[in-house]
Amino acid sequence: MLNRHILERVLLRAMSGGADFAEIFAERSRSSSISYVDSRIESIYDNTLSGVGIRAFLGVRTVYASTTDITEEGLMLCAASVAEAIGEGRADQNIVLSERITPNIHPVRIVPSDSLTGFAADLLKAGCQAAAGYDKRIIQVQGRLMTNDRNILIANSEGLYITDRSVRTRIAISAIASDGTENQTGSASPGALMGLEFFEEHMPEEIGRRAAEQAITNLEAVYCRAGKMTVAIESGFGGVLFHEACGHSLEATSVAIGASQMAGKLGQKIANEKVTVVDDGTIPGGWGSMNIDDEGNPARRNVLIENGVLKSYMIDRLGSRRMGLPVTGNSRRENYSFEPTSRMTNTFILNGPDRNEDIIASIEYGLYAKEMGGGSVNPLTGAFNFSVREGYMIRNGKICEAVRGASLIGTGSQILENIDMVGQNQACGEGMCGSRSGSVPVGVGQPLIRMTGLTVGGR
Amino acid sequence: MIDFEELKAELIKAAAAAGIEQYEIYYQLIRDASAETFRDEISGFSFGVSGGICFRCISGGRMGYAATELMTPGEMHELVIRAHENAKHIENDDEVFIYPGSPKYGQKTREADKFPDAALLKNNALALQRNTYAKSKHVTDGTQSQVFAFETETRICNSMGLDLKNTAGATGGYTRAVVKVNGESADDYDFTLGCGLDSLLPLSDNAVSGALAKIGAGEIDSGKYDIIIGGRQMQGLLAAFSSVFSGKSARLGLSLLAGKEGCEVASSCITITDDPFDPNCPMQTTFDAEGVAVYTKNVIEKGILKTLLYDLTNAKKAGVGSTGNASKGSYASTVGISPFCLSIRPGEYSLEELFRIVRSGLYVTEIKGLHAGANHATGDFSVECAGFLIEGGRRGQPVKSFTIAGNFYGLLRSITHVGNKVEYGMPSGFTVFASPAVLVRDISVAGK
C-alpha cells in the first residue's frame, strides 16, 4: 500500500485550491468468477482492480477524481487537478496521518486464491449438477461462483489513516424448466462476507435444488390475476420491499437535497407501530457488512424506525454537512472510481408480535409472496415496483395454487402504514444494490409480514 | 503514464516463456468527467481515468482469461500465468478462436466528440440547471442537472498479427426537474448524448413540462387496454429482452427464437435492425470484441427472423459466420454477444395519429423495474408504469401506479402500428437501443 508521507503530500496538494477537507481512497482488489453452463465449467476469469480516488470538499461543494496511476507523480497530478477544480483559494495546513486500528469482526478462514480455483469450480459444479438432476424438466442450469478480496486504505486531512480487508463469496444458480412449449426459471444466490468456508454451512447441492424446485413450481403455476389485494411477504429476501420502498428514501443522498418523501420527518410516526427497522453493518459475515465504511467510519447498527417512528437517516460525510447531522457509518462505493455516498448495509424489519400461522390464516383472498425478485423506487414519490419470483394464492386462510408473473407496486409511505401484521421468523437475504456510487452488496431481511391494499400486477 | 507498447512487449515475452502460442491482448482506457448541480450552484465535479488489460490465451484448446488495472511489467507476467492456469479448469470444449482479422472494416459515420474542459462542463451544467428552474415557479429542491463527457480507447492485438485501435466518445447532459404543486410532488427528466453541448437547453422544457403534466395523476381500473408504448419506453423493453436475439442464448435454450430463422416471429410492421454505424449512435467502432468487422443487418425484417447475433464460437456451433457481435461489458469481461445499435425501424404514424387510431386506451410514458420484472428466459414481463389516458383520440388525464403484463414474444406479434419518430436510449458501452412508439392491443393492466 501507499507510503504515509506520500499520502500527506497528496492530501496537501488536493487542498491547495482552498478545500477544507480532502480524502484519499486507495484500493487493490482481486475478483474472480467461475461460470457453469450446459453441464460444464464454461469460463473462468479474474481481475485485479487497482486505483485511487481523491476527494475534496469546500463546504458542500465536492470534487472527485480517480486514477489507476498510483505512482507518486500520478497521484500528485490527480490531486493538482482536484485542487484546480475546487477553486482558486489556498490552504495552509499541516497534515499528520495517524493510523487507526479497527478490529476485524469478520474473520476469514479460507481465503479464495489461485490455488483454490479447482476446489471452487468443484463446489459450483456440485450445486449446478444437483439442480440439473432435480427433475427431468430442468433443461438448462447456469451457475456462477464469485469471490472478491478487497483491500482498501483511507487517509484524510483530519489525520485519519486506516486500512481494511474484506472477502466476499457468492454463488448464483439459475435453473430453466420447460414442458416443451414454454420455459420458466428459478434461482438461488446466497452470499456472505466470508471466504470459501461459506460452503460449510451452505451446501451447494441444496442451493442448486432450491433453484430447480422454484423453476418447476413456476412451470406448473398459473398466471397471477391482477388487482388490489392483501399480500403476505415471506421472510428473508422479502425485505427487499422495505429496502426499495423505504430504505432508499432514508439515505442522505436523497434526503439532503429534499428529493425524498421522508425528508423532515424525523421523530414522526411514519409506519405501523409493529414496525421496527434497523440497518446493521456489524452482523458477522453478513453480505452487506463491513468493518469500516468507505470513509473510514466504523460500521454501526442504526435503528431507522422504532415502533413506527422515524429515528434516523443513513448519512455519509457530505450528507452530514448538508443536513447538520452526524455520519452513521453508511458511506459506500462500488470501487475507487466512484465517489462514495450514503447506502444501506444489512437493512431489515425486526420480529413483531404476530404468529406466522395467524398471518396466513387471517387472509381470505390474497397473494403469498414466498420469494421476491428485485425492484426499484423513486425516492421523491416513494413509488416502487417489485417482481415476485415465487408466489401462491391464498384463499380462506390457506396457501393454494402457485402463480407466476406477479409484480407489486405502490408507494413507500402507503406500505409502511399498511404493514399491519409482523411475524416472528426474521431472516436475511442477499442482493446487489445499484445507485449513484455503483453496485454494492446489501443484506435485506424481515419476518413474514402482512400488507393490505397492494396493487398486484399480473394478467 | 501508461506505456501500452511497453506492457504489450512484456506480455509477448511472458507468453513466449510460458509456451503460449495463441493469445490476445485487449486494452481499454476510459476517461470521463462530469459536473453536477444543486440549486443554483455546481455541487460536484468528478473526473477519472481508468483502464486495464485483459490477456486471454488458448491452452489445451480452452480459452483462459485474466485482467488487471495494475500496469507494471511484473503484473504482466502474472497475468499470463493466471490466464494459463484458469484455462486448465475449463471443461467447455467449444472451439475457440484468436482471430486473424477481417478482409475489410467499415467506415464510422461519426467520430468521438471533442473532450470538453472542466470550465465548459461546469458552465453548461449551471446554464442547464438555471434554465430548468426558470421554466416554472413550481420547480423546486431535488432538481438537478448534469453535464458529462467520456472517451474510450480500445486496442486489440493478438498472436495472429491483428492490431486494431478505436477511439469513441461523447458529451451529454441530463436534467431532472422536481415540481411541487399544491403539496403534490412529481418529477421527470430528459437527456441527450452526442448532440453537442449547445443542444442541452431544450432538455429543460421536456423535463419541466413532463413533471407538471404528472400532477393530479389518478389511478385506473384493472383490465385489458389498447396501449401506445412511448419510444423511449419501448427501447427499454427491447433492451431488457435483447438477449433473446443472442445465438448463444438460443443454443442454450434460453431464447424461444432458437431455430426460428426464416419464420414469422413478429407483426409484419416490425423490422429490427442492428446498425453499428447509425449516425445517432454516438459510440461507434468498426470491430467487435474479437476483432471481427461489424456491419449492418436486419435481425427481424417485416416480421420474419432473418438472423440471430453471433460471436466466432457460437457462429461455428450454429454453422454460420460471425455477425460481428462479440462484446465485452468491460475490458475484464469474458466475450459475450450484444447488438451495437438495435432499433425498431420507424413506421408512418405520428403520435397524434396513433392516439386517433386507439381512440380509447393508455399512453405509457414511464416504465420502471425492467431489471427485475422482465424474465429473459420466458419473455414474461410485469412492470410498473405511468402515463396518460387516451380519450376521444387524444391524450387525456395523467395516470400512475399501474402495471402492464405480457410476454415479449407475444408483444412483438401484437404490435399493430409503429410510430415515425425513433427515440434512443442511453448507450451502455458500445450498445444502444432505439424505438419509435408502438401500438399494442389488449394488454393486461393492473390498477386500482
Is A183 within the bounds of a domain? no
Last residue of a domain, one of B156, B182, B214: B214
Contacts of A136 (CB under 8 A, 6+ apart): none
Residues of chain A in contact with residue B118, where contact means CB-CB under 8 angstroms, are 84-85
Last residue of a domain, one of B214, B232, B249: B214
The count of other CB atoms within 10 Å of the CB of residue A285 is 18
Report which residue type is found at B286.
Answer: T
Q: Could you tell me the CATH number of the domain that includes residue A63?
A: 3.30.160
Whether B191 and B325 map to the same domain: the answer is no
Residues of chain A in contact with residue B51, where contact means CB-CB under 8 angstroms, are 68
Nearest residue in chain A measured CA to CA from B46:
A64
Q: Is the separation of the CB atoms in A299 and A289 below 8 Å?
A: yes
Q: Is the separation of the CB atoms in A321 and A341 below 8 Å?
A: no
Chain B 9-28, residues with CB within 8 Å of chain A CB atoms: none
Is A295 within the bounds of a domain? yes
Is A214 within the bounds of a domain? no
Whether the CB of B444 is below 8 Å from some CB of chain A: the reply is yes
In this predicted structure, the answer to whether residue A56 has a pLDDT above a threshold of 80 is yes
Residues of chain B in contact with residue A337, where contact means CB-CB under 8 angstroms, are 48, 50
Whether B286 and B173 map to the same domain: the answer is no
A383/B384 touch (CB, cutoff 8 Å), yes or no: yes
Q: Could you tell me the CATH number of the domain that includes residue B15?
A: 3.30.2290.10
- Helix (H) / strand (E) element for B297: namely strand B297-301
Cα–chain center distance at B425: 7
Contacts of B49 (CB under 8 A, 6+ apart): A66, A67, A68, A69, B29, B30, B31
Among partner residues A45, A257, A405, which is closest to B332 by beta-carbon distance? Answer: A45
Chain B 129-148, residues with CB within 8 Å of chain A CB atoms: 140-142, 144
In this predicted structure, the answer to whether residue A413 has a pLDDT above a threshold of 90 is no
Helix, coil or strand: residue B311: coil
For testing the chain B interface, which of A28, A37, A42, A47 should be mutated: the one with the most B CBs within 10 Å?
A47
User: For B337-348, b where at least 16 C-beta lie within 10 A, e where not — what string?
Assistant: bbbbbbbbbbbe
Mode of pairing for the β-strands spanning A365-378 and A227-233: parallel
Q: Is the separation of the CB atoms in B349 and B216 below 8 Å?
A: no
Q: Is the separation of the CB atoms in A151 and A172 below 8 Å?
A: no
Question: So what's the ipTM on this one?
Answer: 0.91
pLDDT tens string A367-392: 999 999 888 878 778 788 888 999 99
Whether B205 and B340 map to the same domain: the answer is no
- Helix (H) / strand (E) element for B17: namely helix B4-17
Distance in angstroms (rounded) separating the CA atoms of residues B431 and B294: 12
Distance in angstroms (rounded) separating the CA atoms of residues B353 and B357: 6
B48/A386 touch (CB, cutoff 8 Å), yes or no: no
Which of the four pLDDT bands, split at 50, 70 and 90, describes residue A92? Answer: low
Distance from CA of A53 to the nearest CA of B (A): 8
Distance in angstroms (rounded) separating the CA atoms of residues A237 and A300: 21
Last residue of a domain, one of A78, A99, A120: A99
Report which residue type is found at B289.
Answer: A
B178/A380 touch (CB, cutoff 8 Å), yes or no: yes
The count of other CB atoms within 10 Å of the CB of residue A92 is 7
Is A118 within the bounds of a domain? no
pLDDT tens string A321-368: 999 999 999 999 999 999 999 999 999 999 999 999 999 999 999 999
Last residue of a domain, one of A56, A76, A99: A99
Q: Is the separation of the CB atoms in A442 and A344 below 8 Å?
A: yes
Q: How many domains does chain A have?
A: 2
A3 vs B298, residue with greater confidence: B298
Among partner residues B140, B334, B405, which is closest to A45 by beta-carbon distance? Answer: B334
Classify the C-alpha dihedral B300-B303-B306-B310 as positive or negative.
positive
For testing the chain A interface, which of B38, B41, B46, B444 should be mutated: the one with the most A CBs within 10 Å?
B46
Is A122 within the bounds of a domain? no
Residue A453: burial class (beta carbons within 10 Å; 0-12, 13-18, 19+): middle
Q: How many domains does chain B have?
A: 2
Whether B139 and B116 map to the same domain: the answer is yes
CA A341 to each of CA A164, A254, A282, A335: distance values in angstroms, whole numbers, following the listed order? 19, 10, 19, 12
- Helix (H) / strand (E) element for A206: namely helix A204-220
Last residue of a domain, one of A54, A75, A99: A99
- Percent of chain A topping pLDDT 90: 85
Mode of pairing for the β-strands spanning B223-229 and B361-368: parallel
pLDDT of residue B258: 93
Residues of chain B in contact with residue A66, where contact means CB-CB under 8 angstroms, are 46-50
Whether B163 and B280 map to the same domain: the answer is no
Among partner residues B49, B93, B405, which is closest to A68 by beta-carbon distance? Answer: B49
Whether B231 and B310 map to the same domain: the answer is yes
Half-sphere exposure of A105 (CA within 13 A, CB side): 13
* Helix (H), strand (E), coil (C) string for A63-131: EEEEECCCCHHHHHHHHHHHHHHHCCCCCCCCCCCEECCCCCCCCCCCCCCHHHHHHHHHHHHHHHHHH
Distance in angstroms (rounded) separating the CA atoms of residues A132 and A139: 7
Whether B193 and B76 map to the same domain: the answer is yes
Last residue of a domain, one of B163, B191, B214: B214
A vs B, Cβ pairs < 8 A, gives 245
Whether B291 and B345 map to the same domain: the answer is yes
φ/ψ (deg, to 5) at B287: -140, 155
Residue segments in chain B with a per-residue pLDDT below the cut of 50: none
Q: Is the separation of the CB atoms in B33 and B47 below 8 Å?
A: yes
Report which residue type is found at B389.
Answer: L
Give me the helix-helix angle, B4-17 and B73-88, nearest 10°.
Answer: 50
The count of other CB atoms within 10 Å of the CB of residue A103 is 7
Whether B189 and B78 map to the same domain: the answer is yes
Residues of chain B in contact with residue A261, where contact means CB-CB under 8 angstroms, are 185
Parent domain of A428:
227-457
In this predicted structure, the answer to whether residue A1 has a pLDDT above a threshold of 80 is no
In this predicted structure, the answer to whether residue A266 has a pLDDT above a threshold of 70 is yes
A60/B43 touch (CB, cutoff 8 Å), yes or no: yes
Distance from CA of B106 to the nearest CA of A (A): 31
For testing the chain B interface, which of A30, A44, A179, A371 should be mutated: the one with the most B CBs within 10 Å?
A44
B372/A178 touch (CB, cutoff 8 Å), yes or no: no
pLDDT of residue A409: 87
Mean pLDDT score of chain B:
95
Mode of pairing for the β-strands spanning A40-58 and A21-37: antiparallel
Mean pLDDT of A407-423: 88
Parent domain of B89:
4-214
Distance from CA of A47 to the nearest CA of B (A): 4
pTM: 0.93
Whether the CB of B117 is below 8 Å from some CB of chain A: the reply is no
Contacts of B183 (CB under 8 A, 6+ apart): none
In this predicted structure, the answer to whether residue A452 has a pLDDT above a threshold of 60 is yes
B81 closest CA partner among B22, B14, B16, B12: B14
Whether the CB of B300 is below 8 Å from some CB of chain A: the reply is no
pLDDT tens string A295-310: 999 999 999 999 999 9
A407/B222 touch (CB, cutoff 8 Å), yes or no: no
Grid coordinates belonging to A261:
418523501
The count of other CB atoms within 10 Å of the CB of residue A107 is 11
Among partner residues B2, B256, B403, which is closest to A455 by beta-carbon distance? Answer: B403
For testing the chain B interface, which of A75, A387, A408, A436 should be mutated: the one with the most B CBs within 10 Å?
A387
Whether the CB of B64 is below 8 Å from some CB of chain A: the reply is yes
B47/A339 touch (CB, cutoff 8 Å), yes or no: no
Is A193 within the bounds of a domain? no
Residues of chain A in contact with residue B92, where contact means CB-CB under 8 angstroms, are 38, 40-43
Among partner residues B44, B75, B141, which is closest to A64 by beta-carbon distance? Answer: B44
Report which residue type is found at A278.
Answer: V
Distance in angstroms (rounded) separating the CA atoms of residues A397 and A401: 13
Is A19 within the bounds of a domain? yes
pLDDT of residue B2: 67
For testing the chain B interface, which of A381, A390, A454 should be mutated: the one with the most B CBs within 10 Å?
A381
